[in-house]
Chain A
């Protein structure tokens, strides 16, 4: 009896798991919620991620490194790096241009334009690839004849892969920089201009430094996504081994052909990049948070 009473009583005064309750009593939700959360994330995310690491190094580091002798893997890696190296700078330039153009203007349809920029986030990557095929395919494309008469090859070749990567990743940069520019005033830019700076000088010396961390954050997201893009690239690449196969496509192909070790080796490379980008992201997030606090204080004062 004496045990029953406190155990019935104790949950009541515990005012929601909300406050980090200083109460020593039985705080059931306080234990259960983190437990369920960890179990769920463990089963859904951590376990699969660990399985890649374990499978990749199942036979030790030597056999893992042996994978990198595979010419198909290397050529896939090269193509992925190339596509990323082209797509990311293009999107950085676009993202910064779009941010400076959009963030500090008020116009009708601004919200709509922002939604349009977000569109690649909600369109299926496969549909993005399909759109490119319907535009550039020599037989079916809207511009197929033009492309063919110029002697270009876009679909089933690297330009298609680069284009697909660009479309899928272009919103990240603008998305990260626009809110920051909106938040900060343009007093500094105005001051710079009244002091006689040209537009370029204002951009390089005032605007860009003020958004550098947000831009870096956008850059990390863009790069991570560009390296890993699958659906859109799968449609336009033709998946020709050693020629138009990117690393993510190689992972799938190798796994389907029962080259499990190669598949996990390549997956480990991509996973490693993902983890590095995640760590960088966390770092930049912290700097960004401090930056925001610092930039807010003078406004408050």
Chain B
């Protein structure tokens, strides 16, 4: 894209004062690398056999299932509805659109503890939505796995919407017009012309939301009953291990989550590269 091209033409680096550079690295070193190193060192001391054993206890495996499984459900739900919301924001105009737009950012701005409190209040068996759901279907949301999913849906929705929205906005209308002129139905146009172009953005948003949902603690811990093997998430297990002074187990499980974070960061970056390439071809 153009910024990259422009950058190449620029003269070699201005002799900027070196203090920002030094400050950046010192700060990163103290704030990020030092704690990261402490944890990796601690994890390395456990040894590979012990690490594997502690990382795969039935208790830990159950929390992975809850955290990674429900986060997947939540981010897939958001993959679908996030696309719908982004579509509504870009391609329609209706009263209240600006409010909708502002509401999307609320999960970013609202402290997770408040989100947890709000969701628990609404979805508990005497809440606005929890009560009818419970009376009509005997379905319990808060203090059970569905509640955890709802919390994860709440916090990961903006990621999909805000990733898809700009791409949808930048799509060229000509392609859709061409498709329509060639006799495609609106459905065909959407599925075969629009959706493929949006796919990198959708997957990128889903991946970001997934990564966030897996690591989420504040809102989930409030709406979950935190019963092991049922709806206990991995971050809560880490805290429980710390409270039991089982620092090794906490370190090992924390490292598993860290490895997952690094991996998801890689995937998200690759998806972004893919998306840029796609847009580059289209342009």
A positions within 8 Å CB-CB of B: 11-12, 14-20, 29-30, 33-34, 36-38, 40-41, 43-49, 51-52, 55, 93-94, 96-98, 100-102, 104-106, 111, 115-128, 130-135, 140-143, 163, 166-167, 170, 182-183, 185-186, 189-190, 193, 199-200, 203, 221, 224, 227-231, 234-235, 248-249, 251-252, 255, 263-264, 267, 270-271, 274-275, 277-278, 281-282
C-alpha gap A122/B102 in the complex (Å): 24
Q: In chain B, residues 8-26, which have Cβ atoms closer than 8 Å to a Cβ of chain A?
A: 10, 13-14, 16-17, 19-21, 23-24
- B167 interfacial by beta-carbon distance below 8 Å: no
Is A34 within 8 A of B88, CB to CB? Answer: yes
Top-5 shortest CB links A-B: A228-B111, A124-B215, A230-B218, A37-B88, A131-B35
Size of chain B's interface in residues, with CB distance under 8 A?
A: 102
Is B39 within 8 A of A131, CB to CB? Answer: yes
Task: Report B-chain residues with C-beta under 8 Å of the C-beta of A96.
Answer: 20
B165 to chain A, nearest CB (A): 12
Is B118 within 8 A of A49, CB to CB? Answer: yes
Is B85 within 8 A of A228, CB to CB? Answer: no
The 14 listed contacts between A and B (C-beta, < 8 Å) are A36-B81, A36-B84, A37-B88, A49-B106, A49-B110, A111-B269, A119-B261, A122-B262, A170-B27, A182-B7, A203-B17, A228-B113, A271-B114, A278-B106
Known: A16-B190, A200-B17, A270-B113. 18 other contacts (CB 8 A): A34-B92, A36-B81, A41-B104, A47-B122, A51-B122, A94-B23, A98-B23, A98-B24, A101-B16, A125-B217, A127-B235, A130-B250, A230-B111, A231-B112, A235-B242, A248-B111, A267-B117, A270-B111
Is B88 within 8 A of A122, CB to CB? Answer: no
C-alpha gap A29/B89 in the complex (Å): 13
B positions within 8 Å CB-CB of A: 3, 6-7, 10, 13-14, 16-17, 19-21, 23-24, 27-28, 31-32, 34-39, 41-42, 81, 84-85, 87-89, 91-94, 96-97, 100, 102-122, 127-129, 150, 153-154, 157, 173, 176-177, 180, 185-186, 189-190, 194, 211-212, 214-218, 221-222, 234-236, 238-239, 242, 247, 250-251, 254, 257-258, 261-262, 264-265, 268-269
